[in-house]
Structure 1
Amino acid sequence: MTEQLFQIGIKALIQNDEHQILLLKSQDYWDIPGGRMDQGEDIEAALLRELHEEIGVDHIANNQLWDVAKAVKQLPYDDMMTSLMLIVYHVQLPADQIPRSCEPGVTLHWVSPEQAADYLKNKYPEAFRQAIAQLS
């Protein structure tokens, strides 16, 4: 039996007062904020680091585990392919934390849950996207 190698991604599902979802758009794809855990890093530290790196957030008001999903596409790692397990937190930002793009070529967009579900189809599984579409 061949073992499957996984990388871990920590993601933040952020909604505004109008229940829109924050998405990042690069020229290649749409995504929710977050990224891969570094070796030796704990989950909360990875979440805060990624939010700081991607959207300039220094602290959060609240986070709650929302979902764990396996990414649709595999990723290259050395001479093999790996799967990406995504640990997604529903994150509430305090009023003094205004998201902004901190990465060149990446723009931020607030979109409806239905739009988010559609835009995320290249990375996230169907059940995950259906759950996002139901958020209000």
Structure 2
Amino acid sequence: MLNMITFQGPKSHIHSIARGLLVHGEEIILCRVKDVKWFFLPGGHIEDGESARTALLRELHEEIGNSNYKINSFIGVCENIFSLEKDVLQHEINIIFKVHVPNELKVNTKEDHIEFVSIAKNNLKDYKILPTALKDGLIEWLENERPFLKEI
């Protein structure tokens, strides 16, 4: 018997996600679900008819609430396929931008289930950041500031 793996998604099988590398002085800001040991970049799904930049600004406003940050530049793209439950795969395309956060801005969450953590840029390699390919791309970008593409 052939085992079939199904893909799950709202309208398509690929989730388009805009994420931001929030740069706050010499630190970067990571996000995680409370009580989970791994981190991800802030951001979220791109809605139909919405640009990636607009989606990121909307998501940051929803998650942080302040709009004093500026999307500076495109950093890269990371494709990811993962499974949250047996035999159901998720497929996402992450579009990542550098976001400048003014030094005087305190980054606090508006959502109860997540928290933000500020870390030194040079300590990024010491944290579990998912997807792993995204972490690899970010480390490369921090070294040379050249856009990256991480494919599956």
| Interval containing the TM-score (normalised by the shorter chain) | 0.7 to 0.9
1:112 Cα shift? 2.2
**Equivalent of 2:97 in 89, 95, 98:** 89
1:25-104 aligned at under 5 Å gives the runs: 25-26=32-33, 27-28=35-36, 29-71=38-80, 73-74=82-83, 81-94=89-102, 97-104=105-112
The secondary structure found in structure 2 opposite 1:104 is coil
**AA of the residue aligned to 1:60:** Y
Deviates more, 1:84-93 or 1:105-114: 105-114
Give the greater-gyration-radius structure (CA). Answer: 2
Structure 2: distance between partners of 1:55 and 1:67: 23
Structure 2: distance between partners of 1:121 and 1:96: 26
User: TM-score normalised to the size of structure 2?
Assistant: 0.69
Q: Say whether residues 1:21 and 2:9 are aligned partners.
A: no
Whose strand fraction is larger, Structure 1's or Structure 2's? 2
Structure 2: distance between partners of 1:25 and 1:118: 15
Is the Cα contact below 8 Å between 2:40 and 2:129 reproduced in 1?
Answer: no
Relative distance call for 1:95 and 1:112 in structure 2 (3 A) is closer
Relative distance call for 1:82 and 1:72 in structure 2 (3 A) is closer
1:120 Cα shift? 4.0
User: TM-score normalised to the size of structure 1?
Assistant: 0.76
Is the Cα contact below 8 Å between 1:14 and 1:21 reproduced in 2?
Answer: yes
5+ residue gaps, structure 1: none
**AA of the residue aligned to 1:93:** V
5+ residue gaps, structure 2: 1-6, 8-12, 145-152
Deviates more, 1:92-101 or 1:58-67: 92-101
Relative distance call for 1:53 and 1:80 in structure 2 (3 A) is same
Structure 2: distance between partners of 1:45 and 1:106: 21
Identity, % of aligned pairs?
22
Aligned residues: 130
**AA of the residue aligned to 2:121:** P
Structure 2: distance between partners of 1:65 and 1:45: 13
